[in-house]
Amino acid sequence: MASGDKLKVINPIVELDGDEMTRIMWAMVKDRLLLPFLDLNLKYYDLHIKHRDQTDDNVTIEAAKAVLKHGVGVKCATITANKDRIKEYGLKQEWKSPNATIRGILDGTVFRAPILIKNISPANRNWKKPIHIGRHAYGDVYSNKEIRVSVPGKAEVVFTPDDGSQPLRQTIQNFKGPGIVQGIHNTDASIRSFAKACFTYGYDQKVDVWFSAKDTISKTYDATFMNIFYEEYEKNWKSKFEEADLKYFYTLIDDVVARIVKTEGGLLWACKNYDGDVMSDMLASAYGSLALMTSALVSPQGCFMYEAAHGTVQRHYYKHLKGEKTSTNPMAIIFAWTGCLKKRGEMDGMPEVSNFAQNLETAAIETIESGIMTGDLSAIAATDEALKPVYMDDFIDAIKDRIKQSVINT
């Protein structure tokens, strides 16, 4: 590509704008790192909390449908409304989390992976490659029903078939005094699409797939997860995996926790909903920073939505509103865009788009490796002398200088 020419990305990318500091970073990344080099066909949806409120949250639903239609989307972090936010923004109501709405419509699985940088060492020195996490984003304790029991009595689980046949029931506990009861569920269809998404992702990324549950204790619930994964693998993936020299491995969740610290990484850990919630935060912190964690929502129909794993970085935003410069890290946002550009390039047979995205990732990583980085990283970087953090806009400009260089050289 000659300098001065923009690379045309023909097919649409669905852009979901968001809130607070990530909205500020979003505009800066677009204006300085993408639009000078790319002619993008963007389908823009504004998920700013005020706009969600004005549209009675229809904008979120429309945006999710657009991702399904066009196949590729990129999302900025958004505020999940709560009582404080209702007051702060004068909202009509506590709207549902946009991520939950979008996940529901895409029926997706969330995959997360850390960005590895030479001078930011993982807390575990064995880890040389990323550990990807695939979190089942449906059911279990996230859609539970709970009862606080205050007097003696019998707690049961009852299933009543629609066809009028005999109900199934089991006694959970005969309470002698106060206690707690919880009911959770999952569906074969959701578990199967989770398994399918994990094998698709593992095969795509060329990494082994590990799945963990606790079937020794939960002989029906967790064993169903284990069996569905096994069936899906045997039926649809075994020969592909063997040809690609990839492995599928099932073991108990506690066994994976113990083993994973001894590996060098380079695998996908498929987790049940709660395990994925907890373990992805542990991995993000162990690999360095939430701002180095990428996240992709993959639907069973093969639609992809990329985002940063962190939130809207509220504390930095309030500083920004006071006119102070902040040292907020845009890496995960940059990688959300590069992830979606690579996927667009791959789907459309446009390797030059994927190459641009790869060059941008390399430029961003090399900028940090040259010692120019934001405060979250300078505090943990491996150097002989203390590093001075740079402001967010100076960091983005340093990346831009590098990407310009690589555009001129290609």
Query: Given the rule CB under 6 A, which residues bind ligand NAP?
Result: 77-80, 99, 290-291, 307, 310-315, 328-329, 376
Closest to Mg ion by CB, 274 or 391: 274
Q: Which is nearer to Mg ion, 277 or 397 (CB)?
A: 277
- CA-nearest of 270, 184, 258 to 220 is 184
Q: How many residues bind Mg ion (CB under 5 A)?
A: 2
Question: Packing angle between helix 221-232 and helix 188-205, nearest 10 degrees?
Answer: 50
With binding defined as CB under 5 A, does residue 277 bind Mg ion? yes
Does residue 208 bind Mg ion (CB under 5 A)?
A: no
- Of 138 and 395, nearer to Mg ion (C-beta) is 138
Which of Mg ion, ligand NAP, none interacts with 281 (beta carbon under 5 to 8 A by kind)? Mg ion
Q: Which two tokens stand for residue 121?
A: 């060492």
Q: Which span sits near Mg ion by CB under 5 A: 3-11, 259-267, 270-278, 358-366? A: 270-278
Distance of closest approach, residue 119 Cβ to Mg ion, in angstroms? 27
Q: Considering the rule CB under 5 A, would residue 369 count as an interface residue with Mg ion?
A: no
- Which residue lies nearer to ligand NAP by CB, 119 or 251? 119
Q: Which residue is nearest to ligand NAP (CB)?
A: 311
Nearer to Mg ion, 137 or 331 (CB): 137
Window of 91-99, 278-286, 339-347, 359-367 that interacts with Mg ion by CB under 5 A? 278-286
Considering beta carbons, is residue 25 or 267 the nearer one to ligand NAP? Answer: 25
Give the residue, chosen from 46, 281, 393, 397, that forms a contact with Mg ion under the rule CB under 5 A.
Answer: 281
**Residue 77 contacts which entry, ligand NAP, Mg ion, none (Cβ below 5-8 A, type-dependent):** ligand NAP
Name the residues that contact Mg ion, by CB under 5 A: 277, 281
